[in-house]
Amino acid sequence: MEFRIADTFTDSLARLTGQEQKAAKTTAFDLQLDPAANGLSFHKLDRAKDSNFWSVRVNADIRIIIHRTTASILLVYVDHHDDAYKWAERRKIERHPTTGAMQLVEVRERVEEVEIFKPKEVAAPTPTAEPAVRLFDNLRKFELMAFGVPEEWVNDVRAATEDTLFDIIEHLPQEAQEALLKLAVGEKPAPPEPAPVEADPFAHPDAQRRFRVLTNAEELKQALDYPWDKWAVFLHPAQADLVERSFTGPTRVSGSAGTGKTIVALHRAVHLARVNPDATVLLTTFSKALANSLRVKLASLVAGEPVIAARIVVKAISSVGYDLYSERFGQPQIAAPAVIRSLIAKAASEVEGHRFSAHFLVGEWEDVVDAWQLRSWDEYRDVSRLGRKTRIGGKQRETLWAIFERVRAGLVERRVVTWSDVFGRL
């Protein structure tokens, strides 16, 4: 019998108190060890729309909701008795008829309006507002279902406007949310290939976003110890492919915010450390704050594997540069921005005949002279300034170089360097 966990279980577990979490985890381990154990108290949920929903008693008040079939047990939700039952009564787990992915579907509540007699009131006519534009009214039922929209939510989606879209999509599976948001802004995402009828609906890539098979107690422990870090457990197959693929050289993974690039980087670092037992892996970023966050996440991802953790270095790229420079040339003294601005202002006051603003001079230094590590008039004369809005001629360049040459001399005199000097020398 397969033992699975849903991301909704880890979400709900995180909302319990520490003692309640501990009790729920113990029951979950008992379920995995022996689902038929005498000490487990199962109760079938008669009012649930899904006939496979059962509750398992944790203690006098806490209940785990499971989806139980002859082939598998799925941990779905955990909460206080009444709240757990209400949650289960409004949901069902089913195979999507078009995509073939197993989904956790929120049951659409239907409210019938009963007309009540009221005295007729005549009001002054008011200007009628333009009806709101329906975002998906041009799409037919089968087209929306191809993106994973549950059948019972199709009419609501077709009626969605800019004002109601986010209220509706929060009730839908993630793949449907993503597709609708792309459609709403004018993109044309391609619907996924439908899975064959005989395929396992839990093996569908979209299903693996929310359900995971746990093969042993260690995997369950990781899932329950870090319930707020779903990225450590629920990798999408597209992410897993990037994590484990063999590349022949440098590789760029691109995507908009929230698509999981950082998740892939973390798992990739761990994977490389595991398959290369003699190597040290560097995971780096431009932000020190993000590097600190990655270090914490890495600790949870490789908890219990100190040998792997010891071979992964997480640092901001500035820290990497600083350490390498210190090893080779001695500890660098980095010039503060205020010092550089002061040097530029002083040099500008010493060079006659220029009309450049302080703002322009600082930008030219940062984006051209320092960034490209220009150290001679010939280099500055020939460098391309593509992207710089202010166009300058040859005489102007000569004047500017007279200023920047003094700035360079001032840095040497003070025995300070810029970050571009550090990385340029390295």
Instruction: Read off the pLDDT of residues 261-302 as tens digits, 9 standing for 90 and up.
Output: 888 899 999 999 999 999 999 999 998 988 998 998 888 888
In terms of DSSP bridges, do strands 2-6 and 72-80 run parallel, antiparallel, or are they unpaired?
parallel
pLDDT at 71: 86
Q: Read off the pLDDT band of 186 (50, 70, 90).
A: confident
Q: What are phi and psi of 378, to 5 degrees?
A: -60, -40
pLDDT computed for residue 32 by the predictor: 85
Q: What pLDDT is recorded for position 46?
A: 87
The pLDDT tens digits of the residues spanning 28-64 come to 888 888 887 777 889 999 888 899 999 999 999 999 9
Amino acid at 192: P
Mean pLDDT estimate for the chain: 87
Confidence of residue 96 (pLDDT cuts 50, 70, 90): very high
Tokens of 382: 């020939």
3-state secondary structure of 141: helix
Query: Are the C-beta atoms of 67 and 73 separated by less than 8 Å?
Result: yes
Token pair in block for residue 241: 């492919």
Q: Are strands 312-316 and 53-57 parallel, antiparallel or unpaired?
A: unpaired
CB of 148 closer than 8 Å to CB of 100: no
**Once rounded to an integer, what is the mean pLDDT over residues 187-216?**
85
The encoded tokens of residue 281 equal: 């892996």
How would you list the strands of the sheet with 2-6, edge to edge?
Answer: 42-44, 53-57, 62-68, 72-80, 2-6, 211-213
* All residues at 6 or more sequence positions from 179 whose CB lies less than 8 Å from its CB, including other chains: 147, 148, 149, 189, 191
H helices then E strands: how many in the chain? 18, 10
**The pLDDT of residue 230:** 54
CA 373, chain centre distance (Å): 36
- pLDDT for res 111: 42
* pLDDT for the residue 151: 93
- Helix, strand or coil for residue 103? strand
Rounded average pLDDT over 205-224: 75
Instruction: Tokens for 232, please give them.
Output: 């450590």
Q: What percent of the chain has pLDDT over 70?
A: 89
pLDDT tens string 366-397:
999 999 999 999 999 988 877 777 778 888 99
Q: C-alpha dihedral over 176, 205, 95, 174, to 10 degrees? A: -20
